[in-house]
Amino acid sequence: MEYLVNAAQMRRYDQNTSEAFHVPSAVLMERAALACLDVIRERRERMSRALAACGERIRRERVLVVAGTGNNGGDGFALGRLLMQEGWQVDFALVGNPEKAGELTARQMKSVLAYGGVIQNRLPGQQYDVVIDALFGMGLSRPLEGDYREAVAYMNRQDAWTLSVDIPSGVHADTGQILGCAVSADVTVTFGFRKLGTFLYPGARCAGKVICAPIGITYDSFLGQPPERFTYSEPVSALLPERPADGNKGTFGKAALLAGSPGMEGAGLLCAQGAFAAGCGMVKLVGDSGLLLACMKEQPEAMVTDALEDALAWADVIAAGPGLSASPEAARKLGYVIGHTGQPLVLDADAINLLAKDAGLYALLKDRQEDEESRRELVMTPHPGELARLLACRTEAVLEDPAGSARRAAAVFHAVVLCKGARTAVAAEEGPVYLNGSGNSGMAAAGSGDVLTGILAALLAQGGQTQGSSLQFPDGRARPQADSAVFSCVCAGVYLHGLAGDLAAHEKGEASMTAGDIARAVPGVLNPQTRTRDASGREEGSPRCGVL
- Taking only the tens of pLDDT, the chain with its 548 residues reads 899 999 999 999 999 999 999 999 999 999 999 999 999 999 999 999 999 999 998 888 999 999 999 999 999 999 999 999 999 999 999 999 999 999 999 999 999 999 999 999 999 999 999 999 999 999 899 999 999 999 999 999 999 999 999 999 999 999 999 999 999 999 999 999 999 999 999 999 999 999 999 999 999 999 999 999 999 988 898 888 788 888 888 889 999 999 999 999 999 999 999 999 999 999 999 998 889 898 889 999 999 999 999 999 999 999 999 999 999 999 999 999 999 999 999 999 999 999 999 999 999 999 999 999 999 999 999 999 999 999 999 999 999 999 999 999 999 999 999 999 999 999 999 999 999 999 999 999 999 999 999 999 999 999 765 555 444 556 655 444 444 889 999 999 999 999 999 999 999 999 999 999 999 999 999 987 655 433 333 344 444 333 32
Same domain, yes or no: 222 and 80: yes
Same domain, yes or no: 75 and 211: yes
pTM for this one? 0.92
Angle at 53 between CA 47 and CA 54, to 5 degrees: 95
Same domain, yes or no: 281 and 360: yes
* DSSP assignment letter at 502: H
Domain that holds residue 437: 252-529
Query: What are residue 278's phi and psi, to 5 degrees?
Result: -90, 5
Residue 217 one-letter amino acid = I
Q: How far apart are CA 89 and CA 192, in angstroms?
A: 29
What DSSP element (H or E) covers 346? strand 345-347
Going by C-alpha positions, the residue among 445, 432, 451, 436 that lies closest to residue 545 is 436
* DSSP assignment letter at 249: T
CA distances from residue 181 to 140, 153, 154, 315 in whole angstroms, order as listed: 12, 8, 11, 53
Q: In this structure, are residues 15 and 138 in contact, taking their beta carbons and an 8 Å threshold? A: no
- The strand pair at 433-435 and 425-427 is best described as antiparallel
> How many distinct structural domains can be found in the chain?
2
Same domain, yes or no: 222 and 256: no
Last residue of a domain, one of 214, 229, 244: 229
Same domain, yes or no: 444 and 504: yes
Q: In this structure, are residues 324 and 258 in contact, taking their beta carbons and an 8 Å threshold? A: yes
Same domain, yes or no: 154 and 54: yes
Q: In this structure, are residues 135 and 75 in contact, taking their beta carbons and an 8 Å threshold? A: no
Query: What are residue 444's phi and psi, to 5 degrees?
Result: -80, 65
Q: Look up the CATH number of the domain holding residue 259.
A: 3.40.1190.20
Q: Computed from CA positions of residues 309, 315, 317, 320, in that sequence, does the dihedral angle turn out positive or negative?
A: negative
Going by C-alpha positions, the residue among 155, 163, 156, 137 that lies closest to residue 41 is 163
Same domain, yes or no: 281 and 195: no
| In a domain? residue 291 | yes
**Sequence-separated (6 or more) residues with CB below 8 Å from residue 27:** 216
Same domain, yes or no: 213 and 282: no
| In a domain? residue 266 | yes
* Axis crossing angle, helix 402-413 with helix 384-391, rounded to the nearest 10: 50
Q: Look up the CATH number of the domain holding residue 117.
A: 3.40.50.10260
Q: How far apart are CA 130 and CA 430, in angstroms?
A: 45
Q: How far apart are CA 70 and CA 68, in angstroms?
A: 6
- The strand pair at 303-305 and 282-286 is best described as parallel
**Sequence-separated (6 or more) residues with CB below 8 Å from residue 387:** 352, 398, 402, 405, 406, 409, 417, 419
Same domain, yes or no: 214 and 301: no
| In a domain? residue 544 | no
- The strand pair at 187-191 and 209-213 is best described as parallel
* DSSP assignment letter at 410: H
Same domain, yes or no: 151 and 263: no
Same domain, yes or no: 366 and 515: yes
Same domain, yes or no: 286 and 222: no
